[in-house]
Amino acid sequence: MASHKDFVDYVAEQLREAGAIRSRKMFGEYGLYCDDVFFAVICDDQLFVKVTPAGEAAFPNLPKAPPYEGARDYIWVEDVDDRDTMTALTRLTCLALQAQPKKARRK
């Protein structure tokens, strides 16, 4: 089941205080970017945020699950109406991802 654009737009609106949120359609689902940092996916109208040590430490009770078969675990944000939690998790995750060294691209 593919995600609906209305849901993606709602999640982006909920995250507006975290930074500049944009979505990109990917294989029938969506990737989310905050200030040009890829930090989450929306699959089957569910939000999954990349796992970082900072995100896990701040939100140890949020469940983890793969967004699709064969994927590694992401933090599954079940309550997309909880703007404060989503915003804080997004900020922490993006700061951690920005601090990681860039991967070399293959030629």
Tens of pLDDT, residue by residue over 64-88, are: 999 999 999 999 999 999 999 999 9
Query: Is residue 58, in this structure, part of any structural domain at all?
Result: yes
Number of domains in the chain: 1
Assign residue 20 the CATH number of its domain.
3.30.1460.30
Query: Is residue 42, in this structure, part of any structural domain at all?
Result: yes
In angstroms, rounded to a whole number, what is the distance separating the alpha carbons of residues 67 and 46?
A: 8
Query: Is residue 20, in this structure, part of any structural domain at all?
Result: yes
102 confidence band (pLDDT: 50, 70, 90): confident
Give pTM, 2 decimals: 0.90
Query: Is residue 107, in this structure, part of any structural domain at all?
Result: no
Query: Is residue 106, in this structure, part of any structural domain at all?
Result: no
Q: Are 88 and 95 in contact (CB under 8 A)?
A: no
**What's the confidence (pLDDT) of residue 1?**
63
In angstroms, rounded to a whole number, what is the distance separating the alpha carbons of residues 2 and 59?
A: 28
Strand pairing report for 64-65 and 74-77: antiparallel
Structural domain containing residue 14 = 5-99
Tens of pLDDT, residue by residue over 33-74, are: 999 999 999 999 999 999 999 999 999 999 999 999 999 999
